[in-house]
Amino acid sequence: MGNIIDGKQLSLRLKGEMAEEVKALDAKYGRVPSLAVILVGENPASQSYVRGKIKAAGEVGIKSDLITMPADISEEALLAEIERLNNDNLVDGVLVQLPLPKHIDEERVIDAIALEKDVDGFHPDNVANLWLGKPCVEPCTPKGIMQMIAECGFDVAGKRAVVVGRSNIVGKPIAKLLLDANATVTIAHSRTADLGAVCREADILVAAVGRKHIITADMVKPGAVVIDVGVNRDTETGMLCGDVDTAAAQEVASYITPVPGGVGPMTITMLMKNTIECFLNRIVK
């Protein structure tokens, strides 16, 4: 039976280390890193994510500022707020929680965030830098996944990695990070023919589709490392569940991440790491 990769526990340790780092930065530079989070509307999932981000910032000693805006705020008003934060020299990171209300152009909003404050790593120039192998802010979820794989002591180089899902936030960037770590990477998705056969090739299997239990135990290669990025609500029980049938897949895998308590906490923890990175990039310039 495989081991659980406890994202909560790993997050606690990393946040403890970052808290020490932030104290040292405060002593050296006379201020701590600061993060501005914009939440538009009242989407309960977004509210919950944002609460988690603000709480983590407090634990690490990062200064955070939550800016809430009504769902009917105009795009211009949101862009003006981003511009204000871009110009505030004491703000190191600007994050706009997604999704945004339909009347707001998400791309235009992400474009407006100053590149050096893009703690999510979503800005097109950041994405370009990631793919060109230039210095960049790595998006939080993929960055957290790589930390979890490293935590298993698993050497990615030369291994087969299969990423199921092709989103801009997870699927595409995790494929690039795995490629950078010298894995041989396949990007599969919900329309891949014989998904099971493709997944069974994977020494590292990353599931990021957003469909409950799309990955069953028979799709897992014995001894594989399985990373479950799915956050789905079970319509019968109301419980959170992942894209992987965890209990059954754990019997086959060597390591597997739980939902909840796996990738989720690590995503938030990596946001703290990115905020510190942006602070350092800005302050030493």
Catalytic site residue from 53, 172, 176, 221: 53
> Do residues 46 and 97 touch, judged by C-beta distance below 8 A?
yes
Residue range at the interface with ligand GUN (CB under 6 A); choices 15-23, 74-82, 89-97, 130-138: 89-97
Distance in Å, CB of 11 to ligand GUN, minimum: 15
Angle subtended at Cα 104 by Cα 99 and Cα 105, rounded to the nearest 5 degrees: 90
Question: What is the torsional sign of CA 35, 210, 13, 280?
Answer: negative
In the complex with ligand GUN, which residue's Cβ is closer, 117 or 221?
A: 117
| Spatial separation of the C-alpha atoms in residues 44 and 91, rounded to whole Å | 26
Give CB contacts under 8 A, 24+ apart, made by 230-238: 230/259, 231/259, 231/260, 231/264
Closest CA to 62 of 20, 32, 23: 32
Residue 96 sits at φ, ψ, to 5 deg, of -105, 115
Instruction: Report if residue 138 touches ligand GUN, rule: CB under 6 A.
Output: no
Q: Is 155 a catalytic residue?
A: no
Residue 98 sits in the site that holds ligand GUN (CB under 6 A): yes
Contact between 274 and ligand GUN by CB under 6 A: the answer reads no
- Among the listed residues 97, 228, 243, 273, the single catalytic one is 97
Q: Which of 120, 203, 228, 245 is catalytic?
A: 120
What character string, x for contact with ligand GUN (CB under 6 A) and - otherwise, covers 145-184?
------------------------x---------------
Under rule CB under 6 A, residue 120 binds ligand GUN: yes
Binding site for ligand GUN (CB under 6 A): 95-98, 120, 140, 169
